């Protein structure tokens, strides 16, 4: 017969051995959990730092913090280029800002595209303003057309309460912002087209004008987008056209 004491000792050894292997096997899971928690905390920290720096006018700091969000960001991959592009826009580095925001647009899903499209349209509009100030009315009109197309292609769901709750700037009404953008960009385009042709250079060449077919397509989209928003709002609108046609919004 087996000695009860020996059997008990053997059983205890087996239990200790099992517990030891369980502990060893759980180490990778514990490490992965700690890494995940650290990553989540760092994402929130970088996001808060990026926004805070932007608000205080530290655009370089905001951009640097935004780049900190890019590593292994499987939850909101669009946020890093979105925040970086917005910071670059604040620093008037508009071509770089546009590139980052376009990257963000390819990564954004669902209602995430709302903020990205609004800021991207504002950046392209500001690029048009810069060309207009530099005397290149044709290039300015082309950029205004691109900004208008970005705006009218914004999903109608962006003018909803759910989209507003997810906005990066809760104080900015998305519906009003989109309406103001459309009105302003249309007026800027019209003003550019009404100007006398200034594209004649010393070689007698005329600067390229915006493609009329593309402008007509934008107009069609514009009308449909405006109708969708009015239907969603019960036929209402922003009701405030003051200041439309001049200036730009500040993105965030």
Q: What is the pLDDT of residue 234?
A: 45
Q: What is the pLDDT of residue 196?
A: 45
Give the pTM: 0.66
Q: Give the confidence band of 40 by pLDDT, cuts at 50, 70, 90.
A: low
Above pLDDT 70, what percent of the chain? 64
Q: Give the confidence band of 105 by pLDDT, cuts at 50, 70, 90.
A: very high
On the question of pLDDT at 160 being above 70, the answer is: yes
Q: What is the pLDDT of residue 20?
A: 80
Cα separation, 79 vs 68, in Å, equals: 11
The predicted model gives 3-25 an average pLDDT of 78
Helix (H, G, I), strand (E, B) or coil at 101: helix
Cα separation, 125 vs 101, in Å, equals: 14
Q: What is the pLDDT of residue 252?
A: 53
- How many CA atoms, within 13 angstroms, populate the side-chain half-sphere of residue 248? 24
The predicted model gives 22-43 an average pLDDT of 67
Q: What is the pLDDT of residue 148?
A: 94
On the question of pLDDT at 147 being above 90, the answer is: yes
Q: Between 222 and 191, whose confidence is greater?
A: 191
CB-count exposure of residue 215 (10 Å: 0-12, 13-18, 19+): middle
Q: Give the confidence band of 45 by pLDDT, cuts at 50, 70, 90.
A: low
On the question of pLDDT at 36 being above 50, the answer is: yes
Task: Tell me the pLDDT tens digit for each residue of 116-137.
Answer: 999 999 999 999 999 999 999 8
Q: Between 107 and 31, whose confidence is greater?
A: 107
The predicted model gives 96-106 an average pLDDT of 96
**Paired tokens of 150:** 């970005």
Q: Between 144 and 38, whose confidence is greater?
A: 144
CB-count exposure of residue 8 (10 Å: 0-12, 13-18, 19+): exposed
> Mean pLDDT score of the chain, rounded to an integer?
76
């Amino acid at each position: 017969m087996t000695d009860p004491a020996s059997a008990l000792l053997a059983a205890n050894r087996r239990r200790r051995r099992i517990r030891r292997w369980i502990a060893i096997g759980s180490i990778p899971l514990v490490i992965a959990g700690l890494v995940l928690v650290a990553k989540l905390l760092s994402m929130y920290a970088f996001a808060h730092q990026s926004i805070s720096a932007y608000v205080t006018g530290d655009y370089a700091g905001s951009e640097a913090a935004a780049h900190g969000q890019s590593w292994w960001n499987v939850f909101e991959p669009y946020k890093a280029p979105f925040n970086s592009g917005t910071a670059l826009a604040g620093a008037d580095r508009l071509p770089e800002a546009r590139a980052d925001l376009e990257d963000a647009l390819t990564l954004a899903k669902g209602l995430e595209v709302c903020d990205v499209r609004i800021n991207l349209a504002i950046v392209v509009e500001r690029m048009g303003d810069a060309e207009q100030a530099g005397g290149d009315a044709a290039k300015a009109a082309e950029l205004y057309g691109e900004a208008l197309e970005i705006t009218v292609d914004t999903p109608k769901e962006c003018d909803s309460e759910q989209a507003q709750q997810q906005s990066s700037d809760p104080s900015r009404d998305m519906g009003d912002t989109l309406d103001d953008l459309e009105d302003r960009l249309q007026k800027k385009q019209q003003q550019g087209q009404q100007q006398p042709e200034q594209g004649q250079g010393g070689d007698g060449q005329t600067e390229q004008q915006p493609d009329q077919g593309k402008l007509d397509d934008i107009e069609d989209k514009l009308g449909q987008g405006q109708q969708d928003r009015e239907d969603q709002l019960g036929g209402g609108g922003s009701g405030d056209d003051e200041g439309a046609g001049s200036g730009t919004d500040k993105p965030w």
